[in-house]
Amino acid sequence: MSKTPPTTSLGIFWRDVPLVNYALYSVGIAHAEITNLPVQRLDFVPTAIFPLLIPLLIYGLRWKQSTLPEKRVAIGICLGVPLLIGLNYVFSPRVVLSHDELRDIYEVSAIFNTFILMVHAWTHHRRWLGFFLGPCLAYGLLLENSGILLGYFSEMNYRWYLGPLPAPIATVSGWVTVYYIITWCVWEAKKCLPFLGRSAMGAALVAVAAALCFDLQVDPLACEVGFWTWHPSLKQGWLGVPLLNYAAWTAAVFPFAWILFRREAVLDLEPGEITEPLHRKWMFIQVPLALALAGILFFGFMVVIEGGFDGPTFEILDEAFKFYLG
């Protein structure tokens, strides 16, 4: 993606910041589960494998064409994650933090992480900022606030909000983070797997997988600490996270990604070319369509998961309609 391929380890490390991001989340969340939670949750720690799968995949695809410095960085990142988690488990003393302290750390780090990723985007081209802080941010903003306004979850007691909107800046900026790293990863995968450039469906499914690998580690900790709280009628699933959450993530990511990668395929755009002003305006116009498709997909998933229209998902939706419509 860089105009000139980096040759130093530091340059390669910066080029691959989205992959580094997956690795840092893998280590950081495992650290909190081992060291900082009031009740240690070692059963959560194996979820660190999910975000690590993405660097493993991308570096694996690149391996034959990689230079020696690139291979060293790849090995350092992919082996460094389990090594650091293991050292953390063996040597780190317990430093218990309250839920409020953990939420504050999450809030600041989420916003700062988005900032770093947008600097990374800017180093490629300024128009990348316009894309990821434009249609991607607008889509994420609408998604996050819709889920809260419909009553499926709440995000209380954060420091910074966007005026009267119920979603804090941290979780809204998190959507920018997610869309940037998954789109970047698909663009990288396309370089090694040309068929993805011709298959919007395949590229969108890779994006969904990359997003779920991120969420499968984040959400168990988030639910445990109370970064967000699910409606009490939703049944807890794997590691305390309702299945609705993963259905919502899939439904949220797939339509937007499919629209984006379909335009790339139809117009034979190079990775990153979709960020040009003409395409950015077109993606803005597609946001309502993506939201509508996300809603259809989400409720379709929940009909299957809950076995009909009388499950908790639709009861909560009915409550929302009654509240807003009187």
Looking at the predicted structure, is the pLDDT value of residue 1 above 70?
Answer: no
What integer pLDDT is reported at residue 3 of this predicted model?
63
Tokens 């699910």 sit at which residue?
A: 230
The H or E element that residue 153 is part of is strand 153-154
Could you give the 3-state DSSP secondary structure of residue 111? helix
Split at pLDDT 50, 70, 90, the class of 2 is very low
Split at pLDDT 50, 70, 90, the class of 230 is very high
Prediction pTM value: 0.95
